[in-house]
Structure 1
Amino acid sequence: MISRLRSAIPLLAARPILAAGVVPPSAGQGGRHPGGGDPGGSSVANGSPLGLATPITRIRGVGPFISNALERMGIRTVGELLAHYPRSHLDFATRTRICDLVPDRPVTIWGTIRRCEAFAPPRRPNLSINTVWVSDGTGSIAGRWFLATASRGQQEAWKRRFPAGHQILLSGVPKPDKKSGRLVFDRPEAEVLGPGEDDDNAESLHVGRIVPVYRLTEGLGQKALRRVVHEALEFAGPYLDDPLPPAILATYGLRSKAEALQGIHFPGTLEDRDSARSRLVFDELFWLQLGLAFKRAHLSDEGDGLILELRPGGYVDQLRDHLPFRLTDAQERVFTEILADLAREQPMNRLVQGDVGSGKTVVALLALLAAVDNGYQGALMAPTEILAEQHYHTFKKLLTPLKIEVALLLGKQTKKHRDVYLDALATGFCKIAVGTHALIQEGVKFQNLGLVVIDEQHRFGVRQRKLLRDKGGSDTTQVEVLTMTATPIPRTLAMAMYGDLDVSAIDELPPGRKPVTTRWLKGKTGRKHTWDLVKREVAAGRQAYVVFPLVEESEKLDLKSATQEYERLGAEELKGLRLGLLHGQMPPDDKEAAVHAFRNREIDVLVATTVVEVGVDVPNATVMVIENAERFGLSQLHQLRGRVGRGADESHCILLGDADSEGAKERLDVMCATQNGFVIAEKDLQLRGPGEFIGTRQSGIPDLMLADLRTDSEILEQARKAAFEVIAGDPGLEMHAALRDGMLDAYKANLSFLGIG
């Protein structure tokens, strides 16, 4: 089936599917609407239409100036224009008498133009204040426009647009004038009615209705864009064929695609707008889920998984016997799920998420040993050298009693050192490899790679993960892959972005862990308390971190930097203590030396950037100070706090900074209120939206233009159910050509994600 889809890709490239639902005209129609003539009357400037793939230059009213402006926003076709959804709507549908106007409420009034004037204030001769006075029998109000020109000719031309005695529709938000206190409309939308027109038969895209508000670019105004979108809708109507089967539309009460596009751009009512949005959100989430369901259904297309079974008395059991602690119930549950995956013929496709300090590393090691017990090698890839070295030291410590050799591959190694490890992996002497991107470099060969563990998987792209997986396997089998993350994923995000994976959660911390006391301190008094605490902890034989958002000072940002504060703290507040410096721009050897010195207690206080977010595990460190804490996201703050609280002593996390927004204040309050990473992840989603979570997948999944995973969870569940039911009945989409085309178009930026690139 995959090969059949691959063969369809050139055909799709030959006929652009810029929005699901395009019906290109047949050859027999000569490129014209089936009924004869251009569809939508005169909406097409000239030439034969191509459906939604029609260039925008063929739409009436789109000349070089507007087409260039649209192209700057990535809009080149009718389909792309119709997918440029409004960012908001203004409800100008409510007609209100002037005497009933209230401040700050969007309204439309209908009245008579009494007079019009335009003048330039003496102190600002280049500014023209243009005013129209309107009355409706119940009162009068002014509409004002401020224009950056004051030539007499332009002012006279402007006044001719508003002849006294004509009827006018004004839509806007009335506000009190700063001087007189009377209500005025500033920059309202205005429509002057022609002779014989009244407000009932006047048609306008800008007043007296619910008006779309679009994202713009320089040189393109709202009115011009509304007119162009309206023309495009008229043109596209006959060429919109709904890609969703009637059964799905009926089951979930969805309106047609054509109705939805009309309703999102020019709704008749707010309910019409909301209904249109729901349909278009369903579409976005359906294509996303259909791709995930398709990928999940075709895991075995490139070979079966290796059947790895638990061997009684093997290395897994031996490690359990040597561990100085018992696994938590959550660790046991997740390891059991991993073993069940490894024992199946279908390739493993599991993501393990866990809170900081929950014990993911030992679960990963047990999984790697299960591969070794079955005669295979295992590899763990980490995103940073600090984290890779931390895993290497942990593995060495735990595996020395078992006499299992571990290889470490880093980009900074000498050729001699690297060649020793390469030979050990190629001959099978080393059963487990730990490394960074160096693991996927050419020349790295395994004797018999069976399991790959990818830590902090969101920091690697699809291609990098595939390169490591391809280091093993055969024509008929695939290397097993286990991915891990220390950033808990909110349930809605897990469903939306990781629907192709089985997701496990280590949601329990080892017993005996003391909570980290977290405080948000401000001002000079707060700083004095902070540095006094650091000095007391160091005097008691413990250590501390001080984290800054920047490496060097920035003229644009009023933030503290690690390098400058390292010097200042050593000379002032922390004078007499042994300070070390760690940041991402240091040479690898210097970074390793700093971490090594801190781990060996040769440094009292490690001044650092967020490079310490993962991979630095020093149980003797009991204080984490975060400067400019308001500049960090919740999940990052939580990861930094996770660097302390790893030993038996009470630990502290101090958040320093003044919250410059309500969002920042709420983030810091949440940090002080809870230490549950899963609760923090849900709150982070609510506060900042899904952008950062979505971005971390790095997999080419479709963009979400309308859907908001914070509020559209119900639609997500419906779309997921519909998509997975389709794939369950038709895994190759052979009976659903429109759905197949829509899925391929949605994932066109990265077809390799579906396994068909």
Structure 2
Amino acid sequence: MPIDINRLQQALSVEAERGFSNLQGKQFLFADFLHVNLREDLPENWEMSDRLQAQTLASQYAQYNDLSLSRRQHLIAETRRLLYEVRRREIAETSALSGITKPQKKPKIEAITATEPKSTKKITPDTEIKDIEGIGSSLAVRFQLLDLHNVRDVLSYYPRDHIDYARQIPISDLKNGDTVTVIGTVKKFGCFTSPKNPNLTIVEIILRDRTGQIKLSRFWTGKRYSNRGWQEIQKRLYPQGCTIAASGVVKQSKYGLTLENYEVEVLEHTQDTIQSKTVGRVVPVYPLTEGITPEAIRSLVVQCLPAVSQIVDPMPDRLLRDYQMIRLPDAIAQVHYPDSSATLEQAVIRLTFDKYFYRRLVSLYRRQQQKAIHFVPKSQAIDQLEKIIPFELTNAQKRVIAEIRADLQGQTPMNRLVQGDVGSGKTIVAVYALLTAIEAGYQTALMAPTEVLTEQHYRKIVEWFMQLNLPVEILTGSIKTAKRREILRQLETGELPLVIGTHALIQDGVNFARLGLAVIDEQHRFGRDQRSRLLQKGEDPHVLIMTATPIPRTLYLTNSEIEVSIIDELPPGRKPIQTVILKPSQRKDAYDLIRREIAQGRQIYIVLPLVEESEKMEEIKAAIQEREHLQNVVFPNFQIGLLHGQMSSAEKDEAINIFRRGETQILVATTVIEVGVDIPNASVMLIEHADRFGLAQLHQLRGRVGRGSAQSYCLLLSSAKTQTAQERLQVLEQSQDGFFIAERDFQMRGKGKDEGTEQSGHSSFSIEDRLPDEAARQEIFQIAREAAERIIKKDATLENFPLLKAEFEMHYQRLQGGAIFT
């Protein structure tokens, strides 16, 4: 019996209206009816691709009861699209035979699969956007703002989210917050200019189905929409009694439930197939820029998707099977227009896996090209050091030292980050590394971002090195010419084993005889080029990076270039710092606490964001003016010092030394004290306008107190009233765990760009952002890391993996620059 398309379409429509429940008909259940009919002898005019798709759909209807609601919705939508396309072609053929040239509705976009396009003009991954049908040169220029130049770029421009409009339900079943599609007839349509605002046009639709009605409203701003001609066109598009499909998010309004920011399409009848790229289906949401509408980017993606079939997966089949990854063409197709939430998840996992895999592969190859300086382990100087230092190392410090010393004896140069909270003892860990290199006969360098921090390191380390009979020098911009010339001479001859300095270390004229280890403190304050210039002072020296600025696990665990050690234990005897958020009206309470602490012999920091008055931030007190106010009005009986970034190095050193000696009880400062100032007697940190600082910066500032045995306090003074600002500061109240604070800061601010030289702010979307949580990201990273190590161990040149080699070359050039295979 030939297939009856009308009966099938009617059955599909009723099943959708009744909630995809597998309705019982007179003879068959819905799913059995579709299964049987789609397996019948199909008419001869059906194309082979239609027949194959019908057989695939039939097999899925055999498992209909086991499918999720979402999968049932997608299955019915796919079936509707197939039947509509077949019926459209039949009508066109009949019209052509009879000489009728009746225009047809533009066909619905076919299911997104990795199949050949039916267009006669074949699109390849290398086709430029400007050569795609319907994309003019002006629109192509706009797409270039998104760095989209050819089809391959478009296919790699992944959506940051999806909205599922595939769920079609009756109006009476709508619930607030649901994302749905409703189909009904227009009871009333209105399009008029607001009587209160001549530039505002209001469109109102009252839509009803057999279960109820709903009012849809939309607002258009601009004179073009107030034009009577435009409004009349809208009325003709949606005449009373016409059938429309509307998709959107259900929201409660003063008129009852409505659809927010709805999309609509006019249908010929309630059983008609929806053609829109946005109505009634899972809709991708892409990052945009000015001049590019969501519809424009979706339309471009749909035109480019047929080229997916020409993409060859470079990943070895064995690797894909072992790690249960879907193939690349399928991942690209499904990440744009997924068949289900499950296939979308598989696509995101595969594409994230690729990103981490190639990064790790590039890192491994790069490291293989470097010749490690092999340090023969000696322990004489370290044994002497352990007799000198007046404290016992924590277990965390011992663990990290062991990891570092193992790296220094390895086959590839060390590239390790030591992250430890404020006061966790990173400096002594670095000293163990420095001594290991020095005992092996190499020179070392420790670079810090500020003279204050450099002085702090020098003051600590020189005391230990003098007792070990090891020379150490400090090199900053303020070092006098004669002294600088002598230090440079000692570095060139190799007689100076350790130099501690600022950016002065990377200047021309600073040359080492045998640089074996470079230690970089607070590395985030240096640019990539600055770090690189220090490493170029030697031949592939080992690198140790230290930071007390909390780095989210999400970031450092997915950095393929670096190994990470964490000092997650504070020295014994430290008391938790009490952190309190204060309103301006509570300033007196803060001043009373300061007076009590000074009476007990303690010292105080008061921190302000700026040095001078700013036109944009006039309400923020300048540090200089605030110091005078505090000295003359608030604390006339105490001595108050001043420290800010515009002071000379000598003036900064003098201000800190005076405070260290206790000659000033209060130090008014800018964020120059964020790192490197270690005054154990300081017990109170008052931060003005705390909402102006980042969480990591506030955590660093707080770390300037609590370094002694006394109870310490951090007072966050803020007049901010926004919920976001309050939530940020409350993170500091809740925790002193730098890693927790870093994660919350990461979630609130965004991660910045993880490639290139930009390092802060919200970045463009990355595919791993679609993963459900950090645990999923870490799991995929570990799998990708393991896979890359397997490949490079099996074939370091990738000669046995030609497709992978070609893809790797492209990634290497983008991440490192320059070709590597000849």
Kept after mapping to 2: 8 A contact 1:559/1:628? no
2:263 corresponding residue in structure 1: 189
Kindly provide the amino acid, as one letter, of the partner of residue 117 in structure 2.
Answer: G
2:799 corresponding residue in structure 1: 734
- 1:569 corresponds to 2:599: no
Kept after mapping to 2: 8 A contact 1:550/1:559? no
- 1:612 corresponds to 2:673: yes
Distance 1:560 1:724 in 2: 53
Distance 2:636 2:754 in 1: 41
Distance 1:755 1:538 in 2: 63
Kept after mapping to 1: 8 A contact 2:638/2:666? yes
TM-score by length of 2: 0.78
2:399 corresponding residue in structure 1: 333
User: Deviation of residue 532 (structure 1)?
Assistant: 1.5
Per-residue CA distance 1:408-460 (angstroms, 9 max, x = gap): 11123333332232223334443310001211211112343332222223333
Per-residue CA distance 1:299-323 (angstroms, 9 max, x = gap): xx332313242143xx333332222
Q: 2:319 aligns with which of 233, 242, 248?
A: 248
Shift in CA distance, 138/58, structure 1 to aligned 2, threshold 3 Å: same
Distance 1:556 1:735 in 2: 61
Distance 1:60 1:144 in 2: 34
2:134 corresponding residue in structure 1: 61
2:198 corresponding residue in structure 1: 125
Shift in CA distance, 340/713, structure 1 to aligned 2, threshold 3 Å: closer
Shift in CA distance, 369/272, structure 1 to aligned 2, threshold 3 Å: closer
2:245 corresponding residue in structure 1: 169
Q: Which moved more, 1:76-85 or 1:516-525?
A: 516-525
- 1:264 corresponds to 2:340: no
Per-residue CA distance 1:560-583 (angstroms, 9 max, x = gap): 345253343334333443223333
Shift in CA distance, 479/217, structure 1 to aligned 2, threshold 3 Å: closer
1:601 corresponding residue in structure 2: 662
Q: Which moved more, 1:364-373 or 1:432-441?
A: 364-373
Structure with bigger RCO (C-alpha 8 Å, 6+ apart)? 1
**Larger gyration radius, structure 1 or structure 2:** 2
What SS class does the counterpart of residue 516 from structure 2 fall into? Answer: strand
User: Deviation of residue 517 (structure 1)?
Assistant: 2.9
User: Deviation of residue 404 (structure 1)?
Assistant: 2.8
Distance 1:221 1:193 in 2: 24
Counterpart mapping for 1:698-713 below 5 A = 705-708=766-769, 710=774, 711-713=776-778
Q: 2:468 aligns with which of 402, 406, 418?
A: 402
User: Deviation of residue 237 (structure 1)?
Assistant: 2.5
Counterpart mapping for 1:600-749 below 5 A = 600-657=661-718, 660=721, 664-685=725-746, 690-691=751-752, 705-708=766-769, 710=774, 711-749=776-814
Kept after mapping to 2: 8 A contact 1:546/1:624? yes
What SS class does the counterpart of residue 707 from structure 1 fall into? Answer: helix
Distance 1:755 1:601 in 2: 59
User: Deviation of residue 137 (structure 1)?
Assistant: 2.9
Counterpart mapping for 1:526-565 below 5 A = 527-557=587-617, 560-563=620-623, 564-565=625-626
Kept after mapping to 1: 8 A contact 2:375/2:436? no
Per-residue CA distance 1:61-111 (angstroms, 9 max, x = gap): 212342232222222222222222223222211112223323332211112
Q: Which moved more, 1:740-749 or 1:448-457?
A: 740-749
2:218 corresponding residue in structure 1: 145
Distance 1:738 1:491 in 2: 33
Distance 1:614 1:88 in 2: 40
Kindly provide the amino acid, as one letter, of the partner of residue 173 in structure 1.
Answer: V
Distance 2:261 2:432 in 1: 67
Shift in CA distance, 717/660, structure 1 to aligned 2, threshold 3 Å: farther
- 1:305 corresponds to 2:373: yes
Shift in CA distance, 65/98, structure 1 to aligned 2, threshold 3 Å: farther
Q: Cα RMSD between the aligned structures? A: 3.2
Distance 2:229 2:636 in 1: 72
Kindly provide the amino acid, as one letter, of the partner of residue 269 in structure 1.
Answer: S
Per-residue CA distance 1:568-617 (angstroms, 9 max, x = gap): 33343334432233333444444333333323333322222322121111
Q: 1:87 aligns with which of 144, 156, 160?
A: 160
Kindly provide the amino acid, as one letter, of the partner of residue 244 in structure 2.
Answer: I
Kindly provide the amino acid, as one letter, of the partner of residue 439 in structure 1.
Answer: L
Q: Which moved more, 1:556-565 or 1:404-413?
A: 556-565
Kindly provide the amino acid, as one letter, of the partner of residue 533 in structure 1.
Answer: L
Q: Which moved more, 1:94-103 or 1:676-685?
A: 676-685
Distance 1:695 1:604 in 2: 45
What SS class does the counterpart of residue 712 from structure 1 fall into? Answer: helix
Kept after mapping to 1: 8 A contact 2:314/2:804? yes
Aligned length: 698
1:505 corresponding residue in structure 2: 566
2:283 corresponding residue in structure 1: 211
User: Deviation of residue 652 (structure 1)?
Assistant: 1.9
Kept after mapping to 1: 8 A contact 2:370/2:413? no
What SS class does the counterpart of residue 768 from structure 2 fall into? Answer: coil
Distance 2:816 2:457 in 1: 33
- 1:483 corresponds to 2:545: yes
Kept after mapping to 2: 8 A contact 1:458/1:697? no
Kept after mapping to 2: 8 A contact 1:310/1:339? no
User: Deviation of residue 207 (structure 1)?
Assistant: 0.4
Shift in CA distance, 122/697, structure 1 to aligned 2, threshold 3 Å: closer
Shift in CA distance, 631/248, structure 1 to aligned 2, threshold 3 Å: farther
Kept after mapping to 2: 8 A contact 1:294/1:754? no
Distance 1:193 1:610 in 2: 63
Q: Which moved more, 1:635-644 or 1:499-508?
A: 499-508
Distance 1:282 1:304 in 2: 29
2:274 corresponding residue in structure 1: 202
Shift in CA distance, 735/461, structure 1 to aligned 2, threshold 3 Å: farther
What SS class does the counterpart of residue 107 from structure 1 fall into? Answer: strand
Counterpart mapping for 1:86-125 below 5 A = 86-125=159-198
- 1:237 corresponds to 2:308: yes
User: Deviation of residue 707 (structure 1)?
Assistant: 0.5
What SS class does the counterpart of residue 173 from structure 1 fall into? Answer: strand
What SS class does the counterpart of residue 239 from structure 2 fall into? Answer: coil
Distance 1:311 1:331 in 2: 17
**Percent identity at matched positions?**
44
Kept after mapping to 1: 8 A contact 2:370/2:412? no
Shift in CA distance, 697/713, structure 1 to aligned 2, threshold 3 Å: farther
User: Deviation of residue 721 (structure 1)?
Assistant: 2.4
- 1:40 corresponds to 2:120: no
2:645 corresponding residue in structure 1: 584
2:504 corresponding residue in structure 1: 438
Distance 1:672 1:246 in 2: 51
Shift in CA distance, 680/174, structure 1 to aligned 2, threshold 3 Å: closer
Per-residue CA distance 1:144-186 (angstroms, 9 max, x = gap): 33222211112122223223443211112343443xx233445
Counterpart mapping for 1:440-459 below 5 A = 440-459=506-525
What SS class does the counterpart of residue 304 from structure 1 fall into? Answer: coil
1:77 corresponding residue in structure 2: 150
Q: 1:352 aligns with which of 395, 414, 418?
A: 418
User: Deviation of residue 272 (structure 1)?
Assistant: 3.4
Shift in CA distance, 530/40, structure 1 to aligned 2, threshold 3 Å: same
Per-residue CA distance 1:315-367 (angstroms, 9 max, x = gap): 33333222222333332333233333334454333332222212211222232
Kindly provide the amino acid, as one letter, of the partner of residue 325 in structure 1.
Answer: F
Distance 1:486 1:385 in 2: 17
Counterpart mapping for 1:467-478 below 5 A = 467-473=533-539, 478=540
TM-score by length of 1: 0.84
Kindly provide the amino acid, as one letter, of the partner of residue 189 in structure 1.
Answer: E
Structure 1: 5+ residue stretches without partners: 1-37
Q: 1:280 aligns with which of 328, 351, 361?
A: 351
Structure 2: 5+ residue stretches without partners: 1-114
2:104 corresponding residue in structure 1: none
- 1:154 corresponds to 2:227: no
Distance 1:406 1:755 in 2: 40
2:36 corresponding residue in structure 1: none
User: Deviation of residue 751 (structure 1)?
Assistant: 0.7
User: Deviation of residue 123 (structure 1)?
Assistant: 2.2
- 1:521 corresponds to 2:582: yes
Distance 2:628 2:651 in 1: 17
